[in-house]
Structure 1
Amino acid sequence: MQLHGLIHQFPKEIKVVIVAFISVLSIGFYGGLSFVNTTTSMHVNGIETHYLGNEDDEEAMDMKFKKSEREILTVVHNHILSLSVIFLLLSLILSTTSINKKLKYFLMIEPFLSIVFTFGGIYFLWKGFTWVKYIIVISGFFMTLSFVVATFSILYQILISKKRY
């Protein structure tokens, strides 16, 4: 079944639902990024401190303690499951657009790799492999970039593009 460019042919009601979904999803996603910024300052050392604590730093403004095994497993589990569903739905919608095929495939597959590297990295950071904080930052960046490009591509195709296939 050929879905290339199909989003232009969707009924208005479906397009409205997709725009509403992307809008609400974006509020949640960017809210999550705001939380990450608040807890880590979007810095590799902030990530390390957030999960491993800073009890040894007498000059720390906020005292943080190493996350418990239960906390870390909950964070990893919840994020892997929820983000997988989010990116599956986003990928299914994106598959109906007429954007460049290679870009589309990248945007559909990359987030799943980033989910594994980001949240697997958080687990390994917690286990003491502090160098993975760099992988967490890089994969988190690519996950966010994929989300932004995918959502803007979908919204552009629905709201602005007059191209019909």
Structure 2
Amino acid sequence: MEYNGLLPHFPREIRLFIAAFVVILSVGFFTGLLFINETESNTPTGIEENYLGNEEDEDAEVMKFKKGDREMLTIVHTHILSMSLIFFLLGGLVWMTRCSKKWKLFLTIEPFLSVILTFGGIYLMWKGILWFKYIVIFSGILMTLTFTGSASLVLWQCLKPARK
């Protein structure tokens, strides 16, 4: 079965349905990034304070406390499950686009590695391996870039009719 370039050949209605899904998925994904920005978890210090607290810092504008065991397990569990489903669905659509297999492989496998490194890294940092905050930032940026690239590729090929 030939799947490379299949997406632009779908009927217009199905391509619009897929495009609507990817737009809403993107709104949800980028809203999560806005939340990260609001919690100031986009810097190494911010990530550390968000999960380990900042009770010792007398000059802190907002007092943050170390997350408990149940809260951390809930954060890691829900994010790994939901993000893996998001990237599985988006990856399935990527494989139907017209693009090189190397790019498709990168765009569909890398996010799973980033999910494990990001949320596993948050957990390991919370357990005391503080240098993982740098892995969390790097993998989070890479995850965002691959999501953006995948969503853009799918949207572009949904909205661009196939050549006859």
TM-score (norm 2): 0.97
1:83 aligns with 2:86: no
Cα deviation for residue 77 of structure 1 reads 0.1
Segment drifting more, 24-33 vs 8-17: 8-17
What corresponds to 1:73 in structure 2?
73
How far the C-alpha of 1:11 sits from its partner, in A, is: 1.2
Secondary structure (helix, strand or coil) at the match of 2:63 reads: coil
Report the Cα distance in structure 2 between the residues aligned to 1:90 and 1:16, rounded to whole angstroms: 15
Q: CA offsets per residue over residues 56-97 of structure 1, 9 Å max, x none? A: 000000000000011100000000000000000000001000
Q: Is 1:103 aligned to 2:129, yes or no?
A: no
Write the distance in 2 (CA, Å) between the matches of 1:125 and 1:104: 31
In structure 1, how many angstroms separate the alpha carbons of the residues matched to 2:99 and 2:112?
A: 20
* Poorly superposed stretches of 4+, deviation over 4 Å: none
Query: Tell me, what secondary structure is at the counterpart of 2:131?
Result: helix
Q: Hey, what's the Cα distance between the residues in 1 that align with 2:113 and 2:41?
A: 24
Deviates more, 1:97-106 or 1:66-75: 97-106
Q: Are 2:156 and 1:164 aligned?
A: no
CA distance in 2, matches of 1:37, 1:99: 33
Query: Which SS does the other structure have where 1:129 is aligned?
Result: coil
1:13-69 deviation line (CA, Å, top 9, x unaligned) = 211110110010011000000001111251111000000000000000000000001
Query: Please, what TM-score do these two structures have when normalized by structure 1?
Result: 0.96
Partner of 1:126: 126
Per-residue displacement from partner, 1:110-152 (whole Å, max 9, x unpaired)? 0000000000001001101100000000000110000000001
Contact 1:5/1:164 (CA < 8 Å) preserved in 2? no
Q: Name the counterpart of 1:148.
A: 148
Corresponding residue for residue 37 of structure 2: 37
Contact 2:16 2:159 in 1 (8 A): no
Q: Distance in 1 between matches of 2:150 and 2:97?
A: 10
Any unmatched runs of 5+ in structure 1?
none
CA distance in 1, matches of 2:40, 2:125: 14
Identity, % of aligned positions: 52
Partners of 1:55 and 1:65 within 8 A in 2: yes
Root-mean-square deviation (CA, aligned residues, Å) is: 1.1
Structure 2 unaligned blocks of 5 or more: none
